[in-house]
Structure 1
Amino acid sequence: MKLNTIMPKKLQPYFKRELNEYDQQFKAGNLQGAWHHLERAHIIGQAYPWHHSYVHWKMLLFGVHIKSAKEILGQIPRLLVGGVKSFVGKIPVGNTGGANVPPLKPMKIEGDLKAIFKRAGIHPNTEFHE
């Protein structure tokens, strides 16, 4: 069993960039664009407990902002369990993290995100386990 604790330094700038893009889009009122960047941050950070949980926290706050009971109720268990699954290395690779997708469903990773993982020396389909 692989225990993940800290996001590799080479991956951190990409995670931060997605969160910064989220903030900018959210402040500009582009909620769809903001959510897209939260999903991307989730994919990048889902293997690392703190980062994974932080994105679910942001998704919960987003759900509160848009007054979506589905998103709020969907994020609570993800927030409570997601970090633990990351810690023990059992994540659904590529899952975007929102309440609109099953929490344990692996998903295809977009090409540009695959390239980010490759540049960081991480191969999510082989290093992370569903």
Structure 2
Amino acid sequence: MDSNTIPSRDAFLAEEYRRAAEASDEQNFEEAWHHLERAHVVAQDRLGPHCVSHWRMLELAWRTRDWRELLGQIFRLSLAPIGNITGRLPIGNSGRSNVSAFARMEIEPEISRVLGQSPAQDVHGSK
């Protein structure tokens, strides 16, 4: 994406999903996961997009026959509605099963801008 403009969340998600699919088609699975993780951080606070991000991760886990990740995505798909309804979401979490489903993580500056936050804000939303 052009670093001079801030895309809308929906445009950002569409682009990250496109890049993930392209990388997956090229069997560059590490790159595909990278784009799905970025999409998850942006989608996380909206229930529908949040579930879509985990579903796409589940699909990639299936494609790569990563059974641990697949089970982790099933678990996260079941937790996503609860987290969204209660507002108890681990901000910045990559959505992968290689990190705790409850761990907050640092947000990349580009993603902070998409979310309408100052890149200087920490994972707790303070400066």
Q: Which residue of 2 aligns with 1:29?
A: 27
Q: Tell me the secondary structure at the aligned position of residue 99 of structure 1.
A: coil
Gaps of 5+ in 2: 1-6
Matched length: 115
CA distance in 1, matches of 2:23, 2:81: 26
Q: Identify unmatched segments of 5+ residues in structure 1.
A: 1-8
- Corresponding residue to 1:15 among 9, 13, 20: 13
Residue by residue, what CA displacement relative to the aligned partner does 1:72-99 show, whole Å, maximum 9, x if unpaired? 1111110111133123321100000000
Aligned-pair CA distance for 1:46: 0.5
Q: Partner of 1:110 in structure 2?
A: 108
Distance in 1 (CA, whole Å) between partners of 2:15 and 2:81 is 21
What's 1:4 paired with? none
C-alpha deviation, 1:15, in angstroms:
1.3
Large movers: runs of 4+ above 3 Å: 123-126
1:63 aligns to what?
A: 61
| Aligned equivalents of 1:76, 1:59: Cα separation in 2 | 10
Report SS of the residue matched to 2:72. Answer: helix
Instruction: State the partner residue of 1:77.
Output: 75
- TM-score normalised by length of structure 2: 0.82
User: Distance in 2 between the 1:29 and 1:92 partners?
Assistant: 30
Q: CA RMSD in A?
A: 1.9
The 8 Å contact of residues 58 and 70 in structure 2, kept in 1 or not, is answered as yes
Identity of aligned residues (%): 30
CA distance in 2, matches of 1:79, 1:41: 15
List per-residue Cα deviations over 1:58-83 (Å, max 9, x = no partner).
11111111111210111111011113
Q: Against the structure 1 CA distance between its residues 24 and 11, is the aligned structure 2 distance closer, same or farther, given a 3 Å change threshold?
A: same
Q: Bigger shift: 94-103 or 109-118?
A: 109-118
When the two structures are superposed, what TM-score results if normalisation uses the length of structure 1? Answer: 0.80
SS at match of 1:118: coil
